[in-house]
């Protein structure tokens, strides 16, 4: 994760700074030190502290970074999230990039936590999807975990998920499952996406490990869960709300996947105040 994070930070800083900060470079002497404070302007669930730290360290390896919080903690409006001390130019150059990461990742964690709090002690696992910002997936999925939910597969490489287009190309649910079984290790679980009861029966006959009910209505999901009857894990995806996830949990659904965790979370309101001081 560290290698990927540093690559993302490098791209983000280059995107913002380009050939140089024409404002800061012509206003601030290069030997002045300063102190920055990030403040929560609304209640948040924190995520991205290490990313923010790495942004500042990218331009000033000697920066002093401190925080009384950890990712996953709830922070009240007006609380000081972190302080950072170092080269003033570096602080100003890193300010927006560090804020962007912290606001985005905390936004995801805060949104996820709202679902987790609503769910209470219901026995179902909430997971994310691959509907992430290109280049930021590993960070956004980290933020999902900070919010209290779980990750589905990270990418196409770490889990089998047979989707509708695969089924169409292979000629059916059974054919797709049988073909994948011939080509992967027996240690890898097989998940398949289905959209009706007929496909649920085929998936059961083919002995799929996880059956994803995609965009089925509540009545259809109830019948599918009864049909599956513990023979496979049941995942539900599509059209999930805070209200119907409770109904699904009570039905016996094992996993609920929500693309909204990442595609619908907003940036949180966090500000940074920077002041100079002489070394």
CA distances from 193 to 5, 124, 210 (A): 32, 19, 9
Q: Is 193 a catalytic residue?
A: yes
Cite the DSSP H helix spans in 65-217.
88-119, 137-147, 164-170, 173-183, 197-205
Catalytic residue among 128, 191, 193, 235: 193
Catalytic residue among 85, 95, 191, 214: 214
35 assigned to active site: no
Q: Which one of the listed residues 74, 131, 181, 222 is annotated catalytic? A: 131
Determine whether 96 is an active site residue: yes
CA of 31: how far to CAs of 59, 62, 74, 86, 266, in Å? Answer: 14, 14, 37, 10, 37
Of these residues, 96, 125, 145, 222, which one is catalytic? 96
Catalytic residue among 41, 163, 266, 273: 163
- Let me know if 74 is exposed, middle or buried by CB neighbors in 10 A (0-12, 13-18, 19+): middle
- Nearest CA to 84 out of 105, 101, 69, 67 is that of 67
Token pair in block for residue 274:
């920077």
d(CA 176, CA 193): 11
Say how far apart CA 15 and CA 23 lie, in whole Å.
16
Give catalytic status of residue 104 as yes or no. no
Catalogue the active-site residues: 96, 131, 163, 193, 214
């Amino acid at each position: 994760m560290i290698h990927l994070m540093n690559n993302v930070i490098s791209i983000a800083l280059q995107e913002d700074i380009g050939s140089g900060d024409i404002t800061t470079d012509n206003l601030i002497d290069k030997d002045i030190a300063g102190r920055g404070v990030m403040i929560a302007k609304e209640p948040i669930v924190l995520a991205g502290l290490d990313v923010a730290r790495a942004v500042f360290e990218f331009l000033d390896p000697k920066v002093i970074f401190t925080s009384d919080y950890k990712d996953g903690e709830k922070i009240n409006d007006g609380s000081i999230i972190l302080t950072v001390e170092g080269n003033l130019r570096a602080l100003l150059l890193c300010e927006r990039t560090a804020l962007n990461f912290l606001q985005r990742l905390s936004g995801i964690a805060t949104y996820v936590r709202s679902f987790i709090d609503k769910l209470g002690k219901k026995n179902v696992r909430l997971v994310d999807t691959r509907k992430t910002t290109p280049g930021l997936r590993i960070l956004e999925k980290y933020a999902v975990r900070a919010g209290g939910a779980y990750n589905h597969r990270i990418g196409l490489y770490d889990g089998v998920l047979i989707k509708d287009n695969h089924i169409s190309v292979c000629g059916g649910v059974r054919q797709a499952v049988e073909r994948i079984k011939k080509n992967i290790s027996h240690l890898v679980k097989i998940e398949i996406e289905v959209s009706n009861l007929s496909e649920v029966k085929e998936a059961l006959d083919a002995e799929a490990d996880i059956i994803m009910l995609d965009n089925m209505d509540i009545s259809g999901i109830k019948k599918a869960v009864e049909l599956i009857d513990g023979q496979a894990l049941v995942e539900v995806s599509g059209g999930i709300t805070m209200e119907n996830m409770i109904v699904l949990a009570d039905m016996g659904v094992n996993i609920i996947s929500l693309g909204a965790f990442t595609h619908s979370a907003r940036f949180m309101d966090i500000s940074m105040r920077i002041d100079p001081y002489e070394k």
